[in-house]
Structure 1
């Protein structure tokens, strides 16, 4: 195994998950990543894991299920799978997801079936998702190249050459090719924290977005909102990094105070389908109009997932001049594309982004303007000419980002 890949695996276990001695690690991984996943398992044990449980998934078999399965199965999610996730969360396990899919694996299947299956899964796993979004457990999402994903990004390259190029891109982006990757990550997390502290000190009331794509959007922020970045701290006091890579500083919007129009700057992959060149028009927080050049049916079905899917749940700032953006690559993978661009998310908000939010029940969160939903999906809006202005409580306007980058 390449030294850089071994470095990456160590970063995942030490910095991403930050596995604790005697802790259980639950890994979700595509079957195609078996060699990498086996090394992750071994490394987790070496750093003190009590047990490592691997849940293998095969997206090709999943596609066959959508094509040939009986219609009634798409309204149900296996109870034993949901119970397993909730049970491990109660035991204080950490959760790692290796997210590496074919961006268009489900483009030819019935989108109604996909939407129903997604909804059933979200309902069944609600308890687990609530624990993750409240940082009650350590969790981390990472990606590695697969044949189909690599070919989508680099169609001009054949087989292993495309995969090798994507490996090189990923290893550079996650700083695994540096002389001391752990030290580099600690420096990076410190820089993110400095930006986070500045934004928290300003206590902005609103953000205004504008760019040449036509975006003209105003987003209200609730009183007591908290910007967060880089790492999180679990209920047991363990610091972990939920996304590798991560370049974002994020908070939550006030549910009913989003108005205007926003245009996507990169494709949005949802349910094995690509949605491209789309727009969303908001009034009093809710999407009242939407359209897309490609994948509009998928976009509309997503917006109909539940009431909360039509409202924003996350506001994330990412400098345009960042390692992922500077690669000049569209990854067709939310984990990477969202960290190359300022982005927003439709659906569930993170309660940890509101003072006292982690201790609030669902009704209390709603009363404080927090969006509640079964879904949470990021989409990219950042461009090289994006301007973001922060508006304080007394109406002062302060330029936060110009030409896609932070002013401070």
Structure 2
């Protein structure tokens, strides 16, 4: 127990110092499931020790969330409180930082009609559009982290006795976040340097397109002129470095909105707003999803694609080697923030303007004209495997290998 408490404290300090990189005098908003009480209290302590001006905790609970769908009127699915979005916007504009302990429950909405989930999701996304713009343009420091809950651990470690599931989940979280290192902060700084070297080389290569091949996948993704590869930490509008997702193993950029063609098959299940979708494929023409299939969760996927006009286009392309810390655990976590860092992936919906030269200065129309995509959604789905091959197409037409057998073949 002493070792666990020390590791929990190291984790809390890590997410404050590396994740949001909290500065003296800043406000911090922590969004946390009520099951993560001990970790959340430590995070608040570490934030004040780092000089936080004020820390506010917004507690979340699956039972409360589910109650809306079980007992509220159907009309309430189309409502999202303006006062809450206004609070978030003012918080960002006043220089605050956000730390979200994001632990979605894949079974949360079992038995709920897909249409109700879709309506509630659209209402929230519409109301939070300005706030999400701040997120995607790097206006402020934000970080998503993970912590065990009984519902989540029982799905990921269903093969273990019940009393072993939470400890197993903590062990995995500590491993993938380098908490077991003697000095996790130093270990993370080294890791971020490695990711920087990776995306720096990709920016030097400035590929015109990427070509993917695997079972069920034959896809060409064009990259717009001025695209920027990023990965590891980002810089917010005030010049502060932060890590948006912990753990992180990816480097990512923006695809050309109308330059995607071919077919792609998923390699992991996808949790969409608490509903599971699995074994699905997309067919793209001129950037748009024109056909799709799903063996599990077809209705949920269909409603996601119909969320708005931009939902059928890609907003992100990300590269992650198959031989990586999370993938080597050989476990599906049913949590996009972890699974996307075990696998190459793409994202439907809105792009990150930070991935385009001067992109944060562009209107949605200007962004679209330069190849970016705008949407209410941004949903990552995993396509990586041990057989994935990726080639880079240079401006002069030269083709060179980037991935073979799921791993890098470029020399960094």
* TM-score bin (small chain): over 0.9
2:141 is matched with which residue? 138
Deviation above 3 Å: which 4+ runs of structure 1? none
8 A Cα contact 1:96 1:141, kept in partner: yes
CA positional deviation for 1:302: 0.6
Alpha-carbon distance in 2 for matches of 1:160, 1:125: 39
Q: TM-score, normalised by structure 2?
A: 0.98
Alpha-carbon distance in 2 for matches of 1:82, 1:93: 14
CA positional deviation for 1:160: 3.1
Alpha-carbon distance in 2 for matches of 1:101, 1:267: 14
Is residue 159 of structure 2 the alignment partner of residue 156 of structure 1? yes
Is residue 218 of structure 2 the alignment partner of residue 220 of structure 1? no
CA positional deviation for 1:155: 1.2
1:358 is matched with which residue? 360
2:326 aligned counterpart, secondary structure: helix
2:294 is matched with which residue? 292
Alpha-carbon distance in 1 for matches of 2:97, 2:199: 25
Post-superposition CA distance 1:134-176 (Å, at most 9, x none):
0010000001111010010111323331010110011011000
1:65 aligned counterpart, secondary structure: helix
383-392 or 54-63: bigger deviation: 54-63
Counterpart among 70, 74, 81 of residue 71 in structure 1 = 74
CA positional deviation for 1:33: 1.2
2:209 is matched with which residue? 206
Is residue 35 of structure 2 the alignment partner of residue 53 of structure 1? no
8 A Cα contact 1:29 1:56, kept in partner: yes
8 A Cα contact 1:66 1:110, kept in partner: no
1:197 is matched with which residue? 200
What is the aligned length?
407
1:345 is matched with which residue? 347
Counterpart among 142, 163, 168 of residue 165 in structure 1 = 168
1:330 is matched with which residue? 332
217-226 or 60-69: bigger deviation: 60-69
Counterpart among 120, 131, 152 of residue 117 in structure 1 = 120
1:323 aligned counterpart, secondary structure: coil
Alpha-carbon distance in 2 for matches of 1:342, 1:375: 19
2:14 is matched with which residue? 11
Name stretches of at least 5 consecutive residues in structure 1 with no aligned partner.
none
Name stretches of at least 5 consecutive residues in structure 2 with no aligned partner.
none
2:276 is matched with which residue? 274
1:399 is matched with which residue? 401
80-89 or 32-41: bigger deviation: 32-41
Is residue 110 of structure 2 the alignment partner of residue 96 of structure 1? no
Is residue 258 of structure 2 the alignment partner of residue 250 of structure 1? no
Post-superposition CA distance 1:255-299 (Å, at most 9, x none):
001000000000000111110110011000000011111111111
Counterpart among 17, 26, 43 of residue 23 in structure 1 = 26
Alpha-carbon distance in 1 for matches of 2:207, 2:63: 46
1:44 is matched with which residue? 47
29-38 or 76-85: bigger deviation: 29-38
Q: TM-score, normalised by structure 1?
A: 0.99
Counterpart among 382, 385, 399 of residue 384 in structure 2 = 382
Post-superposition CA distance 1:108-138 (Å, at most 9, x none):
1121111011101111111111011100100
Alpha-carbon distance in 2 for matches of 1:107, 1:92: 38
8 A Cα contact 1:210 1:387, kept in partner: yes
Alpha-carbon distance in 1 for matches of 2:186, 2:31: 27
Counterpart among 320, 323, 336 of residue 321 in structure 1 = 323
Post-superposition CA distance 1:66-109 (Å, at most 9, x none):
12110111111011111110110110100111011321111211
158-167 or 238-247: bigger deviation: 158-167
8 A Cα contact 1:101 1:149, kept in partner: yes
Alpha-carbon distance in 2 for matches of 1:217, 1:156: 35
1:2 aligned counterpart, secondary structure: helix
Root mean square deviation of aligned Cα: 0.8
Alpha-carbon distance in 2 for matches of 1:297, 1:5: 40
Counterpart among 86, 106, 128 of residue 109 in structure 2 = 106
Alpha-carbon distance in 1 for matches of 2:162, 2:52: 36
Is residue 368 of structure 2 the alignment partner of residue 373 of structure 1? no
Alpha-carbon distance in 1 for matches of 2:363, 2:320: 30
